[in-house]
Structure 1
Amino acid sequence: MKAALYAIAAALSAGLAQPGVAAASGIDAQLSRYAAQARAADSGFAGFSVERGAQLHTQRFAGGKPDAPACASCHGADPAKAGKTRTGKEIAPMALSASPARYADDAKVEKWFGRNCREVMGRECTPLEKGDWLSFMRAR
């Protein structure tokens, strides 16, 4: 028992057992990929913005109609808290701090970007928008 506690303490001090480390490396790889795509689309790409990601999260689309959706319509204004679908099903928090494993699977991230961007924005998200939004989720 004592040896196991020493092993855990050693892993923590070495940074090997920190919550969210695996997820952070997944989100880092995704952000790197989106940065390369954004740079290919615009040579003036200067990096992602947490502020633009926050604005994207709360922005209503569909021409400014009052009932137009925003990411926050289902995911909530505070991504560190649970959201709800229109049918009342709970959605786990989106913030990396609250759901450390949420962004570990690239295929799932792309699947949900595809579905949600088309539903909310009426189009695919750009690599810049994906990177900005992920940067916001990472900062929360």
Structure 2
Amino acid sequence: MRPTKPILLLAAAVSLGAGVALAASGDPERARILDGYAAQAKAQTPGFAGFSAERGRALYLGPHTGGKVADTPGCASCHTRDPAGTGRHYKTGRDILPMAVSANPKRFTDPAEVEKRFERDCVNVLGRACTAQEKGDFITFLSNQ
């Protein structure tokens, strides 16, 4: 018996969903980090329905107000609008490795380093700590770049 079109469409949709999830995680450590942020986000926000690459993109690009440094209204201020490109620190001029996982596969795989960067950079860009949902959205966006 041959599958009908609705069954094929459903199978394709399920496969696509699995592919998106795999693309977002890719590395077991990155997946654990995202799982941790998802658990925190569920506890902080009862209606939490998952991470959004689109919200992560908006967080990355900005512009935001309230940050400590007027020269950095968004992550893209130092990391470039293309997350696969090499960034440059606004003050020191030093190169910054790409944020996109496709260009820097080790990005978001060390939990201590990830949290250290969020603690510093969220305050500099947003003027406050990032929420677990924002962190997960941000990683989800950059995991698919």
- Provide TM-score, normalisation by structure 2: 0.76
- RMSD over aligned CA atoms reads 1.9
Partner of 2:105: 100
Partner of 1:76: 80
Q: For the residues of structure 1 that align with 2:34 and 2:42, how far apart are their CA atoms?
A: 12
Return the offset for 1:67: 5.1
After the TM superposition, list the runs of 4 or more consecutive aligned residues in structure 1 that deviate by more than 3 angstroms.
none
Which residue type is aligned with residue 61 of structure 1? H
Identity across aligned pairs (percent)?
A: 49
Q: For the residues of structure 2 that align with 1:113 and 1:122, how far apart are their CA atoms?
A: 12
Partner of 1:10: none
Partner of 2:48: 45
Closer, same or farther: CA 91–32 of 1 in aligned 2, 3 Å: same
Partner of 1:139: 144
Contact 2:72 2:78 in 1 (8 A): no
Which residue type is aligned with residue 54 of structure 2? E
Partner of 2:127: 122
- Provide TM-score, normalisation by structure 1: 0.79
Runs of at least 5 residues in structure 2 that lack an aligned partner in the other structure: 1-24
Q: For the residues of structure 1 that align with 2:54 and 2:131, how far apart are their CA atoms?
A: 16
What pairs with 1:8-23 in structure 2 (closer than 5 Å)? none
Return the offset for 1:59: 0.9
- Residues 107-131 of structure 1 show CA distances to partners (whole Å, capped at 9, x for unaligned) of 0000001000011111100001000
Runs of at least 5 residues in structure 1 that lack an aligned partner in the other structure: 1-21
Partner of 1:59: 62
Q: For the residues of structure 2 that align with 1:103 and 1:131, how far apart are their CA atoms?
A: 11
Q: For the residues of structure 1 that align with 2:115 and 2:140, how far apart are their CA atoms?
A: 15
Which of the numbers 75, 85, 89 marks the counterpart of 2:89? Answer: 85
Secondary structure, in 3 states, of the residue corresponding to 1:60? coil
Count residues in correspondence.
Answer: 118
